[in-house]
Chains A and B, each alone.
Chain A
Amino acid sequence: MANQALSTEPLEIAARLLEMAEAAGVDQADAVAASSTNASTTVRKQQIEKVSESTSRSVGLRVILDGRQATVSTSDISDTALAETVQTALELARVSEPDPFAGLADPREQARNVPQMGLFDEQIPEVDGDHRLAQAMSCELSALDADERIVNSGGATFSTNVSSFALVDSNGFAGTYADTGASMWVEVMAQEEDGQLRNAGWSTSERSLHRLDSPEDVGREAAARTLRQLGATKASTCEVPVVWEPRMASGLAGIVAGAANGEALYRRATFLANREQTDVASPLLTIVDDSTMSNRLGSRPFDGEGVVTRRNALIQQGVFQGFLFDSYNARRLDASSTGSAWRSVGGLPQIGSGNLAIESGDTPPEQIIAEVEDGLYLTTLMGFGINYTTGDFSRGAAGIWIRNGELAEPVQEINVSANLLEMFQRVDAVGSDAQWFGASSAPTVRMSRMTVSGV
């Protein structure tokens, strides 16, 4: 019942707002509404630290008048506020300038029905505070109990959310869907003999409860990752092979999706510009964006403009397949929408990705490490040192040094750098061990050479 109320209400609000805008005489308009109930419990050192639960709701309107567009949003959904929203949108549109490409999605590309994608776990609305507390407590306890050197905790959080999204447009599109999510996170600290602390965290995040890793596994992984950093020192500056553990490698897929953004192409702010259908990576590398996978966090039946979502190969055996588009940037560059528009209540559609996966290769991860005489096993990256225009990559890092094919001592306070195009070309092994982390999946990936800066 609660589920049904949530799934229909945003559609009604959005439809009401669109109707008011149409009555005011706009040429084209769309309205989007979102609601979500988020609840979380955080414990630290086995005491409750924070319990929160709230339901949030907001609605946004885009109007297009003679090619001039404006967007307005409000969290006040009274009729007075909605009427004011329409008026503000009209005023803003009048001072905007005509853009021949502004417009709604092509109705022929929009979804006609909303397929079941396993996005809603009926159990999640039923989860109560006691369950969240119990999960967070056992997650943290398993990390704290893993080893006596674990001496402190940054806390453990278990959270659930139930959301619903609705989009209506003046071409007649009306769609809504509801989804759920649950996640668990913990961070603990271990102490060096000199008193210095090392820390690491681990998490699990899924659409449905039954797919979450167990609290015990999440806690044990956080503890293991913390303990393996004990005794970390700074490496020497060198050029060596770098092995990306699966979680780190999953970030590479996000970088490719960011560079394959059709708006970045329009702005010529991506190193992938003019490289469609060329070799941009090692033939071992295949990266896919797919919003249609069942029960995944990056899945949805239609995009932020109502366009049917789909599977988009980004890199197929090293060859760059093409850019991701919303309908606006597709019109500007004579391309087609790839169902990649994301729509927040407060803004214009933006291009983004769904589920991202680096496909597994056939090399066992142990072998990938065993083949390295001297190199870095990368477990942590820090900072934002990526220039998408040039492809320059330079980020803080920590990990484990590989000596003679074995994981040896931990290293930290180092930096890894190279140009992304070189990095993708230098992939010389892809593991058979792909794992999911939220909406991304990747196996172990090795690059034959990067610069490691240290002492």
Chain B
Amino acid sequence: MSDTPADVIGFYANQLGVDEAAAESVLDSALGRGGSFAELYFEHKRSGSLSFEDQQVKSTQASLSQGVGIRVVEGDAIGYAYTEDLSLDAMRRAAATAAQIAHGTSDSDPVDVTAESYPADRYAIASPSTSTPLADKVELLRRADDAARAWNSSITRVDASMVDEEKRVLIVRSDGRLVADYQPLLRFNVSCLSELDGERRNARWGGGGRMGMAYFDEHSPESLAEEAARQAVLQQEAREAPAGTFPVVLAAGDSGILLHEAVGHGLEADFNRKETSNYSNRIGQPVASDLVTVIDDATLNLSRGSVNIDDEGEVAGHNLLIENGQLAAYMQDRISSDHFGVAPSGNGRRQSFRHAPMPRMTNTYMTAGEDEPEDLIRRVDFGIYCKAFSGGQVNITNGDFVFSVTEGYLIESGQVTAPIRDVNLIGNGPDVLSKVTGVGHDLEMSDGRWTCGKSGQSVPVGVGIPTVLVSGITVGGTQMQPGAGMS
């Protein structure tokens, strides 16, 4: 079984000597120069990885990372320090470093913390993969390898890996709040190379979540491997992608990466507090077609982006961002929610104890519409249909965003036809979302394979979307189309 919050609190007290009294003492040091708020983020993370290539185990890895990140807030400014040494002396030294953001003397009463309970039920799992015998995991990798090779004779290389972690988090704040969480995370990856007549094509696939070995009850290693193999083989017959601006149909699921880039980052409240986002000061205004409703939801059961509490100790929730095209709310962390005078939305996240928290997405998706997915394709005379992606990026100030398609097809006269080679798509957030002209009834969440980067920090996230028709996005292929503009 995974740990309950009480188990995690007991673990810190009994195994690491970090109890309420120690935390209170460190918090007192953190406020020693009069900061207005202080927070301790303790993290104990065990992670493992197993990689399989050339039909055998190539390497096994394990790591233990533990420490505390100490943040002192004074106005809009923060002081931050961390230490891997959890002795009281070392923690108080780090606290004194973080305290230097303030310039007065302590005027507050000693901190008195109390463990607070909340329902920690979003990924309470029976069998964490971190306690599964390695031989069982090796067997899963071997099955994936066998399945990919059996799927098509052109598959000449398979690289498979499994990475997992269990994180015990304890957050203690100067307002007296003490909360803990146990956060499992699993990811299974397969990469396949297809070689045919000297032409090489590759593809990757994978999945996971805040899950244990039960993940494989629903997702066999064979199905993940066959999907990677199918995409690699498909690329053998791919044509050059077109160049220009065309209608695009996004398949349900992974295409949610469009939302993540087109609006997700722009609605993180730090950028809006600083008015550097192209969505700043637009609450209540139309920012998308009225077919578009977008939600960030940390509560999805077992999802890669879900959290019980955020990394500032707030219960994370279900937050409506865009309702029928109107901007409803930003994703908040502590500093921004103070700035806007709203409740924290539970989006304060961080990569590790070495990093200060900031507003981040959890699982971000568009709600289902009413269109038949096939009808959306039939409405396109010439365009592309996108199914799988390798990543994306956004400039939150001017709103330009990109995402890279690794499985895409031409749509000709309402039919999905030839596969196309890897291609990048570029659009501008509000412009592209205003061009959403059809939304399917088939909302699907991506399997757990996405990691989001911001300001040098990576966190696991989920994305989701129903089948969506966008009337125009710029497609960065190499094939000039007849009649396309020539300068």
Q: Is B40 an interface residue (CB 8 A)?
A: no
> Could you say which of B83, B101, B401, B476 contacts A394, with CB atoms under 8 Å apart?
B476
Q: Is A415 an interface residue (CB 8 A)?
A: yes
Contact A453 B62 (CB under 8 A): no
Determine how close the nearest CB of chain B comes to the CB of A395; give it in whole angstroms: 5
Contact B84 A198 (CB under 8 A): no
Q: Which residue of B lies closest to A454 (CB)?
A: B474
Per the 8 Å Cβ criterion, residues 223-246 of A in contact with B are 229, 232, 234-240
User: How far apart sit A97 and B59, CA to CA, in the bound complex (Å)?
Assistant: 8
User: How far apart sit A238 and B487, CA to CA, in the bound complex (Å)?
Assistant: 6
User: How far apart sit A213 and B354, CA to CA, in the bound complex (Å)?
Assistant: 28
Contact B426 A96 (CB under 8 A): no
Q: Is A69 an interface residue (CB 8 A)?
A: yes
Contact A50 B356 (CB under 8 A): yes
User: How far apart sit A44 and B354, CA to CA, in the bound complex (Å)?
Assistant: 22
Determine how close the nearest CB of chain A comes to the CB of B261; give it in whole angstroms: 9
Contact B397 A198 (CB under 8 A): yes
**B56 — which chain A residues lie within 8 A by C-beta?**
97, 99
**B423 — which chain A residues lie within 8 A by C-beta?**
385, 394, 417
Q: Which of B212-220, B291-299, B433-441, B478-486 contacts A (4 or more CB under 8 A)?
A: B478-486
Per the 8 Å Cβ criterion, residues 109-155 of A in contact with B are 129, 152-154
- The secondary-structure label for the interface of chain A is strand
Map CB proximity to A onto B194-208 as digits: 1 under 8 Å, 0 otherwise.
010000111000000
Q: Is A374 an interface residue (CB 8 A)?
A: yes
Contact B84 A57 (CB under 8 A): yes
Q: Which residue of A lies closest to B133 (CB)?
A: A95
Per the 8 Å Cβ criterion, residues 76-100 of A in contact with B are 76, 81, 85, 88-89, 92-93, 95-97, 99
Contact A70 B77 (CB under 8 A): no
**A56 — which chain B residues lie within 8 A by C-beta?**
82, 84, 354
Contact B79 A52 (CB under 8 A): yes
Determine how close the nearest CB of chain A comes to the CB of B106; give it in whole angstroms: 18
Contact A390 B422 (CB under 8 A): yes
Contact A189 B58 (CB under 8 A): no
Q: Is A330 an interface residue (CB 8 A)?
A: no
Per the 8 Å Cβ criterion, residues 15-71 of B in contact with A are 53, 56-67
Q: Is B78 an interface residue (CB 8 A)?
A: yes
Contact B77 A199 (CB under 8 A): no
Contact B100 A383 (CB under 8 A): no
> Could you say which of A88, A129, A387, A452 contacts B422, with CB atoms under 8 Å apart?
A387
Q: Which residue of A lies closest to B94 (CB)?
A: A54
Contact A392 B422 (CB under 8 A): yes
- The secondary-structure label for the interface of chain B is strand
Per the 8 Å Cβ criterion, residues 184-226 of A in contact with B are 189, 196-199
Per the 8 Å Cβ criterion, residues 332-363 of B in contact with A are 354, 356
**B478 — which chain A residues lie within 8 A by C-beta?**
394, 417-419, 451
Contact B245 A454 (CB under 8 A): yes
Determine how close the nearest CB of chain A comes to the CB of B189; give it in whole angstroms: 14
Determine how close the nearest CB of chain A comes to the CB of B403; give it in whole angstroms: 7
> Could you say which of A70, A71, A76, A268 contacts B64, with CB atoms under 8 Å apart?
A76
Q: Which residue of A lies closest to B193 (CB)?
A: A268
Q: A95-B134, A396-B426 are in contact. Are A383 and B404 (CB under 8 A)?
A: yes
Q: Which residue of A lies closest to B56 (CB)?
A: A97
Map CB proximity to A onto B403-440 as digits: 1 under 8 Å, 0 otherwise.
11000000000000000011111111000000000000
User: How far apart sit A455 and B428, CA to CA, in the bound complex (Å)?
Assistant: 13
Q: A54-B83, A57-B84, A189-B276 are in contact. Are A382 and B201 (CB under 8 A)?
A: no
Contact A152 B274 (CB under 8 A): yes
User: How far apart sit A52 and B458, CA to CA, in the bound complex (Å)?
Assistant: 19
User: How far apart sit A413 and B79, CA to CA, in the bound complex (Å)?
Assistant: 37
**A8 — which chain B residues lie within 8 A by C-beta?**
none
> Could you say which of A51, A189, A454 contacts B79, with CB atoms under 8 Å apart?
A51
Map CB proximity to B onto A346-387 as digits: 1 under 8 Å, 0 otherwise.
111000000000000000000000000010000000111101
**A398 — which chain B residues lie within 8 A by C-beta?**
400
Number of A-B contacts (CB under 8 A): 261
User: How far apart sit A384 and B475, CA to CA, in the bound complex (Å)?
Assistant: 15
Contact A347 B61 (CB under 8 A): yes
Contact A72 B84 (CB under 8 A): no
Contact B421 A392 (CB under 8 A): yes
Q: A92-B60, A413-B474 are in contact. Are A196 and B424 (CB under 8 A)?
A: no
Determine how close the nearest CB of chain A comes to the CB of B400; give it in whole angstroms: 5
> Could you say which of A54, A347, A390 contacts B201, with CB atoms under 8 Å apart?
A390
User: How far apart sit A387 and B294, CA to CA, in the bound complex (Å)?
Assistant: 31
**B392 — which chain A residues lie within 8 A by C-beta?**
383-384
Q: Is B4 an interface residue (CB 8 A)?
A: no
Contact B402 A197 (CB under 8 A): no
User: How far apart sit A73 and B64, CA to CA, in the bound complex (Å)?
Assistant: 6
User: How far apart sit A59 and B395, CA to CA, in the bound complex (Å)?
Assistant: 37
User: How far apart sit A168 and B258, CA to CA, in the bound complex (Å)?
Assistant: 47
Q: Is B324 an interface residue (CB 8 A)?
A: no
Per the 8 Å Cβ criterion, residues 41-57 of A in contact with B are 44, 47-57
**B82 — which chain A residues lie within 8 A by C-beta?**
54, 56
Q: Give the residue among A44, A394, A419 with the most B Cβ atoms within 10 A.
A: A394
Contact A385 B402 (CB under 8 A): yes
Determine how close the nearest CB of chain B comes to the CB of A74; give it in whole angstroms: 4
Q: Is B157 an interface residue (CB 8 A)?
A: yes
**A454 — which chain B residues lie within 8 A by C-beta?**
244-245, 474, 485
Q: Is A180 an interface residue (CB 8 A)?
A: no
Contact A238 B486 (CB under 8 A): yes
User: How far apart sit A154 and B395, CA to CA, in the bound complex (Å)?
Assistant: 12
Contact B278 A396 (CB under 8 A): no
Contact B426 A268 (CB under 8 A): no
User: How far apart sit A117 and B400, CA to CA, in the bound complex (Å)?
Assistant: 42
Determine how close the nearest CB of chain B comes to the CB of A372; give it in whole angstroms: 12
Contact B476 A50 (CB under 8 A): no
Report 26 cross-chain contacts, Cβ distance below 8 Å, ordered by A residue.
A48-B101, A49-B76, A51-B80, A54-B354, A74-B65, A92-B60, A93-B60, A95-B134, A96-B57, A96-B60, A152-B276, A236-B487, A238-B485, A239-B480, A267-B157, A383-B392, A383-B403, A383-B426, A384-B392, A387-B421, A389-B202, A394-B422, A394-B423, A413-B428, A415-B243, A453-B245
Interface residues of A (CB under 8 A from B): 44, 47-58, 60, 69-76, 81, 85, 88-89, 92-93, 95-97, 99, 129, 152-154, 189, 196-199, 229, 232, 234-240, 267-269, 273, 346-348, 374, 382-385, 387, 389-390, 392, 394-398, 412-419, 451-455
Interface residues of B (CB under 8 A from A): 53, 56-67, 76-84, 94, 97-98, 100-101, 134-135, 138, 156-157, 159, 193, 195, 200-202, 235, 241, 243-245, 274-276, 278, 354, 356, 390-393, 395, 397-398, 400-404, 421-428, 474-478, 480-481, 484-487
Can you add 4 more A-B contacts, CB < 8 Å, to A71-B61, A96-B57?
Answer: A72-B63, A197-B276, A383-B393, A413-B426
